[in-house]
Amino acid sequence: MGAFETISFRPENCNGCNDCMIACAQAKAQSDDAARSRIQVLSSDGSYELAMCRQCGDPECVHNCPAAALSKDAESGVIDWDASKCVDCLLCTVGCSYGGMVYDVDAGHVAKCDLCDGDPACVKACPRGALKFLTTARIYNEVGNLEDLFVPGLAGCQGCNTELIIRHAMRRIGPEAVVATPPGCIPGMGTVGYNGLTGTKVPVFHPLLTNTASMLTGVRRYYKRIGRNVKVVALAGDGGTADVGFQSLSGAAERGEEMLFICVDNEGYMNTGMQRSGCTPYGAWTSTTPVGERGRGKTQDAKNLPLLMVMHHCAYVATASTGFMEDLYDKLDRAIEASEHGFAYLHVYSPCTTGWRFPSDQNIEVSRKAVRTNFVLLWEFDPQSGLRLTHAAEDPLPLAEYVMALGKYRHLSEEQIAHIEGTIAQNVKFVKGLAAGVPLAAAPA
């Protein structure tokens, strides 16, 4: 069985406005009466709870139905209700523990959510983002059958985000590719292998830390010359991208070389012992910005590499996070497509359990918090459309939720936190300004 799309509910964003219920009632019962909505938001001790069909994988309502009026659609996962078979016994309502099967008095039948054919009215009506339509299942269904192009047992640290990123990326990119993994965690975990054994099922190599984009230039140009379409892909850390690798990156981007350059940003030289890089944020502990009587972590802000790449007029530039996989996959698809005709750059944030000092089961949660506090902004850019935020920067969580989750920030003073908040505010303003601006391609010369 595949995975299915569903609606998520975040009670902390809900204020009980009932707009979702009105929208549902209008869409499904042509009524303004919230009581006829198939989604019910209920107030409970100052918070809110959701009563609606969860489209269960093992649905009690379907089991209870004596007339086969309820069935789970194998394609969409939606539990369909067939009015022509229903005998109005209401046994289904007994089975459901989510309040998803309710009796509609005016209709004289049970009524349940059908996800509006994949475009739920309630979600569109929610003004505060409390409801969200999750299409993550697409990833499982579409990508789950693609071959994982790395061998099992790569030696990443427990809970490594980078391993997740590269496995997902290469599944999507496919086997007709040549992969460059400059020195760092990615070859360090064994992708290029040790002593003659490889960790990857496609051609893979160690470039130097300095020349990834240049070596890929040679590979792609030659294959293009002889009429073969071979994708060339960099899976690089932030050091090999932003610091010592920047010259070759910048040169290849300026020339518009056709490649997909994925920077896996764990904000430092994690593989070689957690030293500071140009992408290490202000205040962060690293082994070369240690905390002591005088040292309080890094004293400079990180360089904003993805924005630098925007200014190279790349065919596509985006930031992404494994906390938001649908977004990551959308961007991966666009980046792969763009790399067929120009330089595509994808900057993926990769919290590092070892180097950032947090429990290894917290990686996705840390990734989410980075985005929800606006510490990381998710956006994409292409010259025709300009820059577009793909995750709203409004109503961020307090920064403390993010920095306090990480050992590398444990020493931060209030002044240092205020500095980071100031940097974030500036960054949000700057990126929003770019998002509001005219597309680069349309800008006057």
Partner 1 sequence: MSAVLKPKSKLIVCDGNEAAAWAVAAARVEMVAVYPITPQSSLVEYLAKFVADGRLAAELVDAEGEHSVLSVLQGACLAGARTYTASCGPGVAFMFEPYVRTPGLRLPIVMGIVTRDLLTPQSVWGGQQDAMSVREAGWIQVYCESVQEVLDTTIMAYKIAEHRDVMLPVNVCHDGNYLSFGAARVELPDQAEVDAFLGEKDVNWHVALDPRRPMAVDPLTGGAVGSGPATFVRYRKGECSAMQNALSVITEVHEEWGRRFGRTHAPLVERYRMQDADYALVTIGSMTGAAKDAVDAARERGEKVGLLKVKTYRPFPVQAVAAALAQVKAAGVVDRSVSFGWNCGPLFQDVIGALYHAPRRVAAMSFIGGLAGADITTGHFDEAIRRVAELAQGAAAGGTVWLNEKD
DSSP 378-414: -EEEETTTEEEESS--SSPPPTHHHHTT-GGGTT--H
C-beta of 202 vs 262, nearer to partner 1: 202
C-beta of 203 vs 383, nearer to partner 1: 203
User: Which positions lie near partner 1, rule CB under 8 A?
Assistant: 175-178, 187, 192-208, 210-211, 213-223, 225-226, 230, 247-248, 250-252, 254-255
Cβ at position 231, least distance to partner 1 in Å: 9
- CA-based end-to-end distance of the chain: 54
C-beta of 22 vs 177, nearer to partner 1: 177
126: closest CA among 5, 6, 10, 4? Answer: 10
Q: Are 263 and 236 in contact (CB under 8 A)?
A: yes
Burial class (CB in 10 A: 0-12, 13-18, 19+), 32: exposed
Produce one character per residue of 121-155: b if its CB has 16 or more CB atoms within 10 Å, e if not.
Answer: bbbebbeeebbebeebbbbebeeeeeeebbeeebe
Q: Could you give phi then psi for residue 228, rounded to 5 degrees? A: -110, 135
C-beta of 183 vs 355, nearer to partner 1: 183
Cβ at position 226, least distance to partner 1 in Å: 8
C-beta of 15 vs 247, nearer to partner 1: 247
Cβ at position 198, least distance to partner 1 in Å: 3
Cβ at position 7, least distance to partner 1 in Å: 41
C-beta of 214 vs 427, nearer to partner 1: 214
Cβ at position 341, least distance to partner 1 in Å: 17
Cβ at position 248, least distance to partner 1 in Å: 5
DSSP 165-185: HHHHHHHHH-SSEEEE--SSH
Q: Are 392 and 372 in contact (CB under 8 A)?
A: no
Cβ at position 216, least distance to partner 1 in Å: 6
Q: Which two tokens stand for residue 335?
A: 């980046």
Listed in sequence order, the residues at least 6 apart from 57 whose beta carbon sits closer than 8 Å to its beta carbon are: 1, 4, 77
Cβ at position 147, least distance to partner 1 in Å: 12
Distances 87 to 60, 82, 92, 307 between C-alpha atoms, Å = 17, 10, 11, 61
With tokens 């160690």, the residue in question is 206
C-beta of 174 vs 422, nearer to partner 1: 174
C-beta of 205 vs 282, nearer to partner 1: 205
Q: Which two tokens stand for residue 436?
A: 């509001």
